[in-house]
Amino acid sequence: MAQTRKIALHYLQHASWAALPPDDRELLELAAKAARNAYAPYSKFKVGAAARMESGEIIPGSNQENASFPAGTCAERTALHAAMAVLPKGTVESMAIVVPQVKGSRPVTPCGICRQALVEQERRQGGPIRLLLGIVKGPVIETFSAETLLPLSFDSSQLGRKPR
């Protein structure tokens, strides 16, 4: 007999950027600034991300589209992979993600591929990545782990081996 299971997501919603500490506002501002460097001639949907490393260094990223749509890279993975290329043993403490042109009451959340990449990085570094998802002059969603957004993620145990 099947059992019904329930997944609950726990996150904070802040009314605005002003409700956050200065370090978090700075990270959101840098993500919004990174969105200006997005290459999005097809979708016109510019996304910026900024990853704060344990060392304090901040690595920005923006989405980079391609006429062959699957070949594009999202802002979150651009920032994440740049951070690991520069600081391969580094720890990503937090990441802000901003889509400046979005208005409304709910920030945009990462796509499924980015959620999986963020969760993989959490496992790689042995600790959570705090996410700040923001709208310019609007609310901010704060999660204490990327896994909050992907509770049934795929991992190396399903491959029958551990990463090297």
The residues assigned a catalytic role are 76
Phi, psi torsion values for 138, nearest 5 degrees:
-150, -165
- Looking up tokens 């991300």 gives 49
Classify 79 as helix, strand or coil: helix
Distance from the first to the final alpha carbon of the chain: 39
Contact status, residue 138 vs residue 130, Cβ threshold 8 Å = no
